[in-house]
Chain A
């Protein structure tokens, strides 16, 4: 227990300081003002971010839209029917000419391919040289070459043509045509560009895939840019590749 004297002493001291005040230097307020200032700036920054959110979304959408629009014409030429025929003609024509040249001058082809054909069987099978053996050797080598040709035919059809050329020039075309339709001696009139060109399959399937892909990417980007998760921009694409931006969500939000 505190004694009455101690309590009295404490009371007297307390009473002395009850209305006590002291002078404050004028510079002190400036220091306090400086310290409480950063809080205001922070609040303003947050406010500005919210304010410009929609503008940044719109800007991003415009950039994406412009980029797609710039890419669009090239893809349209590839997808349309007329352009396909033109491209096919350009690609296939040199190939046809080359085949025709081969038919007209088979010797040139023979000279070119000869070293490749002889090298494979010869060092292994030949021991004694006479006419019969030579015939036999030719047959063996031809058999070996044919086997080799069959082996390589799926990957390298030109090898098959070269093998046939060594023994009988007249059989070049038949053998080659049996192995690969691409090396068949072409009659330009008979060549159907549509049948040679395999691209149109893509032209039939790709627009739908592309349609889903582009609009899907745009919708994904738009959904991720919007804080809060509500989708307000919706991109749709028609069969001609034209992209439409749906703004209904934005107006609906503003109505609230």
Chain B
């Protein structure tokens, strides 16, 4: 579906056009929100807040990039803002860079997305937030530090611990699967 067709309607505050935009992007955006949330309910809250922002600021979309990319950015920012309120990152000790060891080579192609999502949701809020921002959204440690008002080393340590936990969980799951198979 061509997004331009309902974009103009959204700018005129047309309810039908707004609903069309929501139907077009809500499922994908729910996937984004679920990564940042610890539960389905939290993800729904983030999604609702995000779409309200989208409709209230639709006139700021300059048609330069894709509409989906713009909506996604709003969702990510809303999720970060939502998570930041509940996360106290400063309490976690910063990890010295020299102690950060290289992770093992991992292959997760056989892993289901839903399982991976569950593992991410089960991470501590601070780990989950920094991992999402760095590994999936592509933020630098400097940007994360600025956005979350923490030091860069704190951001690195959060990411390191998040990776370690995830890999442990993946290993555990693979072991369980192999055990069942054998």
Pairing of A with B: yes
- Residues of A contacting B52 in the complex (Cβ-Cβ under 8 angstroms): 32, 35-36
Question: Chain A contact residues: over half helix, strand or loop, or mixed?
Answer: helix
B27 at the interface (CB under 8 A from A): yes
- Other-chain contact of A22, B19, B30, B55 (Cβ < 8 Å): B30
Which of A27-78 touch B at CB < 8 Å? 28-29, 31-33, 35-36, 39-40
Among A3-11, A199-207, A244-252, which stretch is in contact with chain B? A3-11
What are 18 sample pairs from A and B whose C-beta atoms fall under 8 A apart?
A6-B103, A10-B135, A12-B107, A13-B116, A13-B135, A13-B136, A17-B31, A17-B35, A17-B117, A22-B27, A22-B34, A23-B27, A25-B44, A28-B48, A32-B55, A35-B48, A35-B52, A39-B56
- With A29-B22, A36-B55 as given contacts, are A21 and B134 in contact (CB-CB < 8 Å)? no
- Other-chain contact of A12, B13, B28, B31, B106 (Cβ < 8 Å): B106
Q: Which residue of A lies closest to B52 (CB)?
A: A35
Give the distance in Å from the alpha carbon of A21 to the alpha carbon of B72 in the complex. Answer: 12
Contact with A along B33-64 (1 / 0, CB 8 A): 01100000001100110011001100000000
B113 at the interface (CB under 8 A from A): yes
- Residues of B contacting A36 in the complex (Cβ-Cβ under 8 angstroms): 18, 52, 55-56
Chain B residues within 8 Å of A, Cβ to Cβ: 13, 15, 18-19, 22, 26-28, 30-31, 34-35, 43-44, 47-48, 51-52, 55-56, 102-109, 111, 113, 116-117, 134-136, 163, 166-167
Tell which of A5, A22, A31, A39 has the most Cβ of chain B within 10 Å: A22
- Other-chain contact of A31, B35, B48, B103, B105 (Cβ < 8 Å): B48
- Other-chain contact of A10, B13, B48, B56, B134 (Cβ < 8 Å): B134
- With A13-B108, A21-B31, A39-B13 as given contacts, are A32 and B22 in contact (CB-CB < 8 Å)? yes
Give the distance in Å from the alpha carbon of A21 to the alpha carbon of B22 in the complex. Answer: 14
B34 touches A5 (CB 8 A): no
- Other-chain contact of A6, B18, B102, B108, B136 (Cβ < 8 Å): B102
Q: Which residue of A lies closest to B51 (CB)?
A: A32
Q: Which residue of A lies closest to B105 (CB)?
A: A5
Give the distance in Å from the alpha carbon of A93 to the alpha carbon of B104 in the complex. Answer: 125
A14 touches B136 (CB 8 A): yes
- Residues of B contacting A39 in the complex (Cβ-Cβ under 8 angstroms): 13, 56
- With A22-B34, A32-B48, A35-B48 as given contacts, are A9 and B22 in contact (CB-CB < 8 Å)? no
Tell which of B52, B105, B107, B109 has the most Cβ of chain A within 10 Å: B52
- Residues of A contacting B104 in the complex (Cβ-Cβ under 8 angstroms): 5
- Residues of B contacting A29 in the complex (Cβ-Cβ under 8 angstroms): 19, 22, 26
B44 touches A17 (CB 8 A): no
Give the distance in Å from the alpha carbon of A23 to the alpha carbon of B28 in the complex. Answer: 9
- Residues of A contacting B108 in the complex (Cβ-Cβ under 8 angstroms): 9, 12-13, 16
B47 touches A28 (CB 8 A): yes
- With A5-B103, A21-B28, A24-B30 as given contacts, are A12 and B51 in contact (CB-CB < 8 Å)? no
Q: Which residue of A lies closest to B34 (CB)?
A: A22
Give the distance in Å from the alpha carbon of A196 to the alpha carbon of B107 in the complex. Answer: 121
Give the distance in Å from the alpha carbon of A110 to the alpha carbon of B145 in the complex. Answer: 110
Q: Which residue of B lies closest to A29 (CB)?
A: B22
- Residues of B contacting A8 in the complex (Cβ-Cβ under 8 angstroms): 105-106
Inter-chain pairs besides A5-B102, A25-B44, A33-B15, 16 sampled, C-beta below 8 Å: A6-B163, A9-B106, A9-B135, A9-B163, A12-B108, A13-B116, A13-B135, A16-B111, A17-B117, A20-B31, A20-B113, A21-B27, A21-B28, A33-B18, A33-B19, A36-B18
